Structure formats: structure tokens, C-alpha cells
Structure 1
Amino acid sequence: MRKRTIKTQLVLSFLAIATLIIGSISLVALSLTNNHFSKYVEERQEDLLNQYVYTIDLLWLNSGETWNSEELAALSEKALENNIYFSIEDEQGNMVWELKGKNLKSAQDKLKKNALKVSEKKSVKLDETIEAKKKLINDGNEFGKVTFYYFGPFAYTEHDALFISSMKQSLMYVAIAALLVSFILASWISARLGLPLKHVSDFTHKLTRGEYADKIPQETSIIEINSLIDSLNDLSNQLEKQLGLRKRLTTDISHELRTPLATLKGNVEGMIDGVWKITPERLQSCYDEIDRLTRLIGNIEVINKIEAKYDHLNKTEFNIYKLIESVIENFASKIESKDLHVEIQGDNINISADKDKMNQVVINLLNNAIKFTQKEGTIKFSISKNKDHVLLIVEDNGIGIEKDQQLHIFDRFYMADPSRSRALGGQGIGLAIVKSVVEAHKGSITVKSKLGLGTKFVIKLPFQ
């Protein structure tokens, strides 16, 4: 594929679109002009023929309801000036007036000459002579019939042809002028867009090298480019924060592994040296620390499998309402110990999903809510559905989460309040598992929280 600069691409694209639009408008305008003008000429021709019919009626009446050849000849000469000649029959079908011989040949030559003159100026396609028959009526009684002859398809005059030709030239000049203006505008717009986009390109190269400190100043009046610049500046800030989070993650993992290992090492060394007796309590303490390490590693493996799609979903149809009821029953002792009020709102809804993994989602969210909700607090599950999705909302009136921390609570090992979370037995993995499971089901999860007022998680899952 041939590569171009954005300036060249914008100019070519702009010109292509302008050519298409201007060409289409010109063709439509020309077609409409031709159609309307042709209709106008046709109506004018019809009016002209009706005027001659009216004149013939008057001539017949003024002559005492007889035909005057001299008057008809004079009218015929006048008609030739309008590129028309005619013949008249009486009510019995007898020919009253017509051009014959040299007069007819002269009239036809004159009509054809005028028609060719118009044809050259307007490119009117000449047909054979057209006949138009009109009835001659007086007081409701037909007293004859007149037949008009002229070249078609329409009786354009030389002035009409000049008007159409002038219209075509004007449209052509307008189209050329519009294309020139489009080229100038395209060059100006591409220059306006090209420079800030070059700055954006240079900035992204800096980001790939890990240079997050610099920022792009807003220097355009274009909303979309300013939005792109803001997004890149936000990305730079987020990457800088992520760098700090990775460092914190390393520290947190080290802490999570070091604490149980240090406890194990101390107990085992004490029992080996004989300082401590080997008692069931000390063995249980060692077992608990090993179990803690096993759960930590197991949770990490669960996330890796889900995100890498090694752990395939085993979808079945089940009732999400009853699943939540079952999980709440299993947490009855913890709920009673803090005197919490837990309720479910909504209908019994069946969904197609991996039941075991969705069970883990509900467990992690409920466990999280119980940990951070004060005594006598409230936890509420809400279930609803629309055409394509099921909404599961879990909200509490607990301690809440600070706004700047809400972006990271689904990250592995992230804990909004590390000291308190560890004191409550947290490892910063539960919500990461929840997000991985939901996204594996092609769903989404969001959080809204206010510090000191509570937290709400909203899960959106497809039916299938």
C-alpha cells in the first residue's frame, strides 16, 4: 500500500468528496432545469396552440360562420413565424384550409431550418414533424377540427436554446470555482490538522520510550484534536501511575509471600531447635500459613486462566436469583455476626453462564461488602433485565472508596486501604477475579462509590 502524508491524504480526500458532491449537485441541477424548462416550453406551446384555436373560432364567427381563405392565409403566415403551420377540416371532415405544393414545402423547410438552428445551440434531438389536433367548438357544438404541425420534441426558440446553453456554462464555471475553493480549503485545513497531529505522533514515540513526564499543550481550536491531546495526556498520567502501581505490586506480592513464609520459618526453626514444642496448635498455625500461600497462588492461577482463556466456560442455564439466595445462606454466620441486613430485589431470571464462576463472583462481591460494611449496615442485591442483558447490582452503605482509587480496585493485589484490608484477610485479588469472570462472559462491571456512604457494583451480562 502506497503511503502518504496526512496533508496529501486530506487534500485528496477533500477533493474527491468535493468533486462527487459538486458533480452530483450540478447533474441534479441541470436535470431539474431541463425538466422544468421543457415543461415550461411545453405549456407555453400548448397555450400558443390554444390561442390559435381561439383566433380561428373568432375568424369563423366574424365571417358569419363561414371560412375566409384570405384571413386563414394571413393567420397561417403568422403561425409560420412561431414555427407552426396548420390545416382545418369542417364538421363533415372536409378539408377547409391546408398548405399545398410549394407553400407546404416552403413552410416545412422554414420550420426545419429554425429547428436545426436551435438544435445546434441546445443539442435538441429533432424528431419527425409532430401533429397536434384540436377541436373547434362554438356554444358547445363542434364545427370543425384544426391540426397543427411543428418539429419536436418541444418548440424551443433560439432564445430558449441560448438560455439553456448559458445555464450549462454557468454551472460548469461554478463547479470549477467550487473545486478551486475546495482545494484551497483542503490545503489550509490539512495544514491546521497536520502540525498538531505531528506533535501527537512525536509524543506517542516518547511514551513508547517510557518518557511520561512531558505533556502536549493544547494549541488547536479543533475539539476532536484537543480531545485526542487530553486523552494522550491522561494516558501519560495513567502510565506514570501504572508504573507506580507496578512498583507497589512488587512490594505487595513480596509482602504477601514474605509474611506467611517468615511465620513458617520461625515456627519450623523453633521446633527444630527445640525452643518450641511440636504441638497441634503450632502445626495448625503452620498449616494455616501454607493454606494462605496456596489460596494466594491459586487465586493468581484462576485469574491467569480466565484472562488467557485457558479455563473454558462451562455454560448452563440457571436461576441467578436462587444462586444469590444460596450464597447468602452460606454467609449467614458472618452476616449475623455483624447484624447486617441483606436483601434481594427483582425477579427470578434464568441466564446462560458458567454457574461455578458466577457463584465465585457473587461470593467475592458479598464477602467484600460484608468486610467493609459496619455493623447493622445494609447490603442489597438487585436483579433486572432488558431486551438483551441482565443487570446485577450489589450495593452497600459501608465505608466507600475514594474516587482516585476506584480506577484501580479491579487490578491484581490492589487494596484501597492495604493495612485495613490485610487486617480483614484481604489479598487484593477478589475483585480482579470478579472482573475477569464477567469479561469472559462478554459482560462488563462498573463501580460507583462515595467515601463514607457506600459502594455500588453494576454487572451487565448477556442472556446467552
Structure 2
Amino acid sequence: MLIKTLPLRLRLTLLMAIILSIGCISLMVASIYAARVIYVQPQLVPNADVLDGKKEGSLSVPPVPPIPSVSPTPVLIEQQIDFASAGFLCAILIIASGTGITYMVTGRALKPVTNLSKEIEEIDENNLYRQVQVPLSKDEVASLSVSFNRMVHKLQKSFLAYKHFSANAAHELKTPLAAMLARIEVVQLSDPPILEEYTEALEDIRSNVERLNSIVHDLLQMNTDMNGFRYKTFKANELFQTIIREFSLEIQRKHIHVEIHLENVLLYGEKNLLYQAFSNILHNSIKYNKENGNIQITAVRHSVTTCITIADTGIGIPEDQIDKIFDPFYCVDKSRSSELGGNGLGLSIVKAVIDKHNGSIQVHSEAGIATTFVIQLPNSHS
């Protein structure tokens, strides 16, 4: 419809003009009807027989009341026309003045919306994170401005995270590629290369290719679509026992004591992805643990969720970095992570898997003392 293409101010004004027109016309019609029918007194006309009897003088006739006449006189008709004309003129004046007042009032009322729209239009790629001014009023426009600023803040955070991720991903991928290229150039400088140099070069290239493959695999794991997986219920004890057996050599080498208190708890979700997530957590708990340290795994099933706690006596995480450990490629100690073979994607995969299960994960840590991961998983698919 054409009316939907009009500005909001004109639409509100037009709507008010229609309402005023209906009201004024209805009131005018009611007033004219009242003036013509209800409040006009009929004129009294004497009875014709009485007049004739008085003229003949033959009989004495008692007085008879006059008969009402409903026929309007020319004067009455003219008064009714004047009344209708005045009412029609008043209705036009009321509609015109009401429409004008409505246009001015709606203009003032919609001014904050207009200002907000202009501010948003001025935002472009050069000032993408600019905040709009919040009106002093506590109305819907102020609430909309606050919501818009929150959205801009979230977008800024997302774009910065994406930028940070792209830079780190490029760095992580470039490092093994540069190492392979350098190794190839060293072999080419030899004239002619000997068999041992070829063997060492191929071994280095193989190692770097495995690192690249691991990074690509982890990146794909982070973006796995859960729609194609099968959710099922399985025993938590069996899952964690399998993970512990996988890392048994590392556990024995560092003499780490592992305690498992699962009390026949059942987990619900995609088993392979949850295996990957808990495996990454336990791998970090072993890798960054101390000699003769402890790892404690407990789980409690509630009515709606299951709480899994993994606590270790490792090196801990500084308090100001706890919120960053789930960022892709982030490492608390980059030199130590590289030495131990980490690429900063393990906990990012954990967070992605838990989020895709509609769960939550929290970290409590104290540098140099201990770290505890608390994971909440729903007991059913929602």
C-alpha cells in the first residue's frame, strides 16, 4: 500500500486526521439530528371545526385543544440550514487544527528517533565502532540507543577477535612453511647433496607437515556442525578411563596420581566430540602439571545438568589471563607451549564443543598452585 511508503510522522498525522474526521462528522450528524427532531417544538394550529362553529354562532361548542403541526416553517428551515453550515464549518476547523497540531507534536516526539537515524547513517567503515548518543529521557528511544551501543560493542569485540585470530592463524601456518622452505634451500646449496642431508630434510619437512595437518584438523574441529552427529547417553567412567589409558605413558613419566570419582554418572551428547574436549583438558592437566602432581576427576548428575570437575596441581593460570585461554592460538606461555608441542587451539576446541552441546565451562585457577575446570552439560538435547 502507498501509505506504508510514507514517513512515520505523516502516517501518524494521517491516522489522527482520519480519527478526527470520523469523530467530528459523527458529532455533527448527531447534533443536526437533535436540532431537527428532538429539540424543535411543534407549532400549535387551532381546530377548523371550532372556528367554523364560532362563525355560525348556532351552537355553543366547548373549547377543543389545538392540533400540533409538524410542518416546518420557512424560518425554521433556514435556521436548520444555518446550524448545519456552522457545524460543518466547525468540523472542518477542528479537523484542520487537530491535524496541524498532530503534525507538530509527532515531529517533536519523533525528533529523538530522527536524530538517532542520522547518527546511525553517519557510521561507516571509518568509524564502525562509534557509539550513538543516549537521550537523557528514559523512554523507548533511550533504550534503543543503549541496545544499539551494546550491539556495536559486541561487533567490535567480534571483529577484533577475528582480526586477532587471523593474525595468529597466519603466524602459526607460516612458521612450519618457512621452516620447510629454509630446509629445502639448505639442501639446494649443497653441491651435490648427500643422502644424509636428504634424509634430515625429509624428516624436518615431515615434522612440519604433521604440525600443519594438526593445526588444520583443530581448526576444522572448532567449526564442526553438530547437526550431522548423533546424541546418545553413555557412561562417563568409560570415557575418562579410555582417555587416561591414552595418556598413561605421560602420566607414569611424571608420576602423576589420577583420582576418578564418577559414581556411575551418565553423560549425554556426541561421544566423539566430548571425548576430544575432555581429552584436551586432561592433556593440558598432565602437560602443565608438576612432578608427583595430582589430577582429580569428579562428576555429579543433577535433574537438568551434569557437572564434571577436572582439577590439577599444575602451574596454574594468571588471573588476568583466564578469560583469554579459550581464544584460538592463545598461549599463556608461548615459549613453553611451543616446547611442549602446543598450538593454542586445544581449549578453543573445548569451548566450541561445550557450546555446541548448550553447556558451559568455567575455570578457577591460581598461578603456581592449581587449576580447576567446571563443565556443565545438559542431560537431554534441547
Paired residues of 1:403 and 1:449 also in contact (CA < 8 A): yes
Q: Give the Cα–Cα distance (whole angstroms) in 2 for the partners of residues 232 and 416 of structure 1.
A: 34
Matched, 1:330 2:240: no
TM-score normalised according to structure 1 size:
0.50
Please list the CA deviations of residues 319-352 of structure 1 after superposition, one character each: whole Å capped at 9, or x if unmatched.
Answer: 1122112212221222233333332233112233
Q: Give the Cα–Cα distance (whole angstroms) in 2 for the partners of residues 406 and 198 of structure 1.
A: 43
> How far off its partner does 1:292 sit?
0.9
Residues 244/383 of structure 1: CA separation in 2 closer, same or farther (3 Å cut): same
Query: Relative CO higher for 1 or 2, CA cutoff 8 Å, sep ≥ 6?
Result: 2
Q: Give the Cα–Cα distance (whole angstroms) in 2 for the partners of residues 317 and 254 of structure 1.
A: 39
Paired residues of 1:377 and 1:398 also in contact (CA < 8 A): yes
Unpaired runs of at least 5, structure 2: 13-104
Q: Give the Cα–Cα distance (whole angstroms) in 1 for the partners of residues 119 and 325 of structure 2.
A: 29
Match of 2:286 among 346, 349, 370: 370
Aligned equivalent of 2:164: 248
> How far off its partner does 1:427 sit?
1.6
Match of 1:354 among 255, 270, 278: 270
Aligned equivalent of 2:195: 278
1:379 counterpart letter in structure 2: I
Q: How does 1:203-214 map to 2 (within 5 A)?
A: 209=125, 211=127, 214=130
Residues 207/380 of structure 1: CA separation in 2 closer, same or farther (3 Å cut): farther
Q: How does 1:97-108 map to 2 (within 5 A)?
A: none
Please list the CA deviations of residues 398-425 of structure 1 after superposition, one character each: whole Å capped at 9, or x if unmatched.
Answer: 3444455444433332334434333332
Aligned equivalent of 2:357: 441
Match of 1:293 among 197, 202, 212: 212
Residues 377/266 of structure 1: CA separation in 2 closer, same or farther (3 Å cut): same
Residues 427/218 of structure 1: CA separation in 2 closer, same or farther (3 Å cut): same
Larger Rg: 1
> How far off its partner does 1:440 sit?
2.8
Q: Give the Cα–Cα distance (whole angstroms) in 1 for the partners of residues 366 and 143 of structure 2.
A: 28
Residues 231/384 of structure 1: CA separation in 2 closer, same or farther (3 Å cut): farther
Q: Give the Cα–Cα distance (whole angstroms) in 1 for the partners of residues 151 and 340 of structure 2.
A: 33
Paired residues of 1:316 and 1:352 also in contact (CA < 8 A): yes
> How far off its partner does 1:387 sit?
0.9
Residues 198/454 of structure 1: CA separation in 2 closer, same or farther (3 Å cut): farther
Match of 1:343 among 259, 262, 284: 259
SS class of match (1:359): helix
Compare 313-322 and 447-456 and name the one that shifted more.
447-456
Q: Give the Cα–Cα distance (whole angstroms) in 2 for the partners of residues 404 and 195 of structure 1.
A: 44
Aligned equivalent of 2:181: 265
Paired residues of 2:183 and 2:201 also in contact (CA < 8 A): yes
SS class of match (1:421): helix
SS class of match (2:195): coil
Residues 341/388 of structure 1: CA separation in 2 closer, same or farther (3 Å cut): same
Q: Give the Cα–Cα distance (whole angstroms) in 1 for the partners of residues 114 and 283 of structure 2.
A: 50
Q: Give the Cα–Cα distance (whole angstroms) in 1 for the partners of residues 140 and 369 of structure 2.
A: 37
2:195 counterpart letter in structure 1: I
Paired residues of 1:398 and 1:452 also in contact (CA < 8 A): yes
1:302 counterpart letter in structure 2: Q
Q: How many corresponding residue pairs?
A: 281
Match of 2:296 among 380, 383, 398: 380
Aligned equivalent of 1:86: none
Aligned equivalent of 2:329: 413
Compare 343-352 and 321-330 and name the one that shifted more.
343-352
> How far off its partner does 1:205 sit?
5.9
Residues 416/203 of structure 1: CA separation in 2 closer, same or farther (3 Å cut): farther
Paired residues of 1:296 and 1:427 also in contact (CA < 8 A): yes
Residues 274/371 of structure 1: CA separation in 2 closer, same or farther (3 Å cut): same
Q: Give the Cα–Cα distance (whole angstroms) in 1 for the partners of residues 286 and 143 of structure 2.
A: 40
Q: Give the Cα–Cα distance (whole angstroms) in 2 for the partners of residues 384 and 224 of structure 1.
A: 45
Q: Give the Cα–Cα distance (whole angstroms) in 2 for the partners of residues 397 and 200 of structure 1.
A: 54
> How far off its partner does 1:197 sit?
7.2
1:368 counterpart letter in structure 2: N
Identity level (%): 30
Paired residues of 2:135 and 2:141 also in contact (CA < 8 A): no
Q: Give the Cα–Cα distance (whole angstroms) in 2 for the partners of residues 339 and 206 of structure 1.
A: 63
Paired residues of 1:373 and 1:398 also in contact (CA < 8 A): yes
Q: Give the Cα–Cα distance (whole angstroms) in 2 for the partners of residues 236 and 452 of structure 1.
A: 38
Aligned equivalent of 2:233: 317
Residues 227/399 of structure 1: CA separation in 2 closer, same or farther (3 Å cut): farther
Q: Give the Cα–Cα distance (whole angstroms) in 1 for the partners of residues 158 and 320 of structure 2.
A: 13
Residues 451/243 of structure 1: CA separation in 2 closer, same or farther (3 Å cut): farther
Q: How does 1:44-443 map to 2 (within 5 A)?
A: 209=125, 211=127, 214-215=130-131, 220=136, 222=138, 236-237=152-153, 239-274=155-190, 277-279=194-196, 280-304=199-223, 306-307=224-225, 309=226, 312-403=228-319, 405-443=321-359
> How far off its partner does 1:227 sit?
8.4
> How far off its partner does 1:366 sit?
0.8
Q: Give the Cα–Cα distance (whole angstroms) in 1 for the partners of residues 370 and 122 of structure 2.
A: 40
Q: Give the Cα–Cα distance (whole angstroms) in 1 for the partners of residues 122 and 322 of structure 2.
A: 28
Q: Give the Cα–Cα distance (whole angstroms) in 1 for the partners of residues 122 and 331 of structure 2.
A: 31
> How far off its partner does 1:239 sit?
4.1
Q: Give the Cα–Cα distance (whole angstroms) in 2 for the partners of residues 339 and 394 of structure 1.
A: 18
Paired residues of 1:317 and 1:353 also in contact (CA < 8 A): yes
> How far off its partner does 1:259 sit?
1.6
Q: Give the Cα–Cα distance (whole angstroms) in 2 for the partners of residues 317 and 370 of structure 1.
A: 27
1:353 counterpart letter in structure 2: G
TM-score normalised according to structure 2 size:
0.59
Aligned equivalent of 1:30: none
2:171 counterpart letter in structure 1: H
Residues 452/264 of structure 1: CA separation in 2 closer, same or farther (3 Å cut): same
Paired residues of 2:120 and 2:132 also in contact (CA < 8 A): no
